[in-house]
Amino acid sequence: MIETHSSPGTPGQQFKTLILCFIVALLEGLDLQAAGIAAGGIGKEFQLLQPQIGAMFSAGLLGLLPSALLGGWLSDRIGRKKVLVVSVLIFGVFSLATTQVWDFHSLLAARFLTGLGLGAALPILIAMSSEAAQPRHRSIAVSITYAGVPLGGAAAAVLGMVNFGGDWRGLFYVGGVVPIAIAVLLMLMLPESQAYQLRQQQAAATHRPVATEGVSGLFTGGMWKSTLLLWLASFFVLTVLYMLLNWLPSLMQGKGFSREDSSLVSLLFNFGGAAGSLMVGRLMDSSARVKTAVCIYLGMLLSLAGLGWAQGLPMMLLAGLGAGFCATGRQLVLYAMAPALYPTSIRGTGVGASIMVGRLGAIGGPLIAGQVLAAGLGVAGVMAASGPGIVVAAFAALTLVCAPQKQTAY
């Protein structure tokens, strides 16, 4: 397939796109972390067992599965902006609905429906930020956008520390009202992707329908190898990341730390994630791509060991900071590469499919952690169970990073 290279737009358009995508990512991170921070209060109010809390986490992640692929697929056909606005409205409305649940089953339904909106947003954010940047700055553009996710998680941790709203519902009020307001801002200010618009104009000028390969296009030519490696790495990276995002506060309290200390570890985990996103994104645009990936995956293994076996608060804070840096950095390695693997016609679909496969791991991670804890193996057991997945993800990611880089048309 031959595509004409498009301009990413004026500097003003690029700036608006990155800022607005960052804000949406911030809200996504707040909602994803809110469930973990609110888990203690939710469990107490509804008298939930640990496996039921794990099911609550996984219900939200289950909603992310179909919408990640569907959102990316729709954005390739009807436009990035339209689908993003609708997805933000959906996760805002059902985050508000979470505050009104009355039992375990209504809680699962609210978290599942919130996940539908969250899942559709992320592949579009990655595609739009990548398409808005100059070629030499695409990884850092994606990293700036994605840094909003851990920073949103940090904001949720701060709100949890100050007990915003008086109980666990306060976090979900913020996660509901603000996205609805931001959706209006997106409608008024967000420019459509220049790459998407150019493809539509080319189709109109030649009187030919826009190519719609869909998921099958991810396996044409030599792309099938890259697609499968990306999926393998995404699966295991998100297994560990969401295990930590959802269970870290409860794991720390299980080791005897106070609620405030646990929130502080979560806060540093998310600050480390933001730093990891920005630093890894910058390095992925340089010649140090391979060294960066190796260091990130080794660092993750060390950080998990620290979380599992450290006893004092200072060492736990350091391990939490390192785990956040490396966990988010590992994901950013994949998100920085994913848009460049595919042409404009299937970019949203390709990124969405990799995120969907990753979410399968994300669903399993919290459930595995719940079962390990229920078996009495403790925090160290949860961390030990994460190790093999990190090794497999490292192999797949390094194979992709070391492969000859192709310049995919934007």
Q: What is the pLDDT of residue 212?
A: 55
Question: What mean pLDDT do residues 8-19 have?
Answer: 81
Domains located in the chain, CATH noted: 11-402 (1.20.1250.20)
Cα separation, 355 vs 25, in Å, equals 14
Q: Is residue 195 within 8 Å of 76, Cβ to Cβ?
A: no
Torsion of CA 90, 94, 96, 97, to 10 degrees: 150
Q: Kindly report, residue by residue over 266-317, the tens digit of the pLDDT.
A: 788 878 888 887 888 778 777 777 888 888 888 888 887 777 777 788 888 8
Note the pLDDT of residue 224. 84
Mention every residue, 6+ apart, whose C-beta is less than 8 A from residue 392.
Answer: 232, 236
Average pLDDT over residues 16-26: 93
Using the structure block, give the residue that is written with the tokens 């107490």. 44
pLDDT of residue 215: 74
**Phi, psi (5° rounding) for residue 236?**
-80, -30
54 pLDDT more than 70: yes
For 60-96, write each residue's pLDDT tens digit: 878 888 888 888 888 888 888 999 999 999 999 999 9
Angle between helical axes of 80-98 and 11-46 (0-180°, round to 10): 20
Given a cut of 70, whether residue 259 has pLDDT beyond it is: yes
Residues 6+ apart with CB under 8 A from 306: 315, 316, 318, 319, 322, 323
Q: What's the whole-number average pLDDT of the chain?
A: 82
Q: Cα dihedral angle (307, 313, 314, 317), rounded to 10 degrees?
A: 50
pLDDT per residue over 385-410, tens digit each? 777 888 888 888 888 887 755 545 55
Q: Tell me if residue 162 falls in helix, strand or coil.
A: coil
Report how far apart, in Å, the C-alpha atoms of 21 and of each of 35, 130, 148, 345, 366 are: 22, 11, 9, 21, 27
Q: What is the pLDDT of residue 311?
A: 78
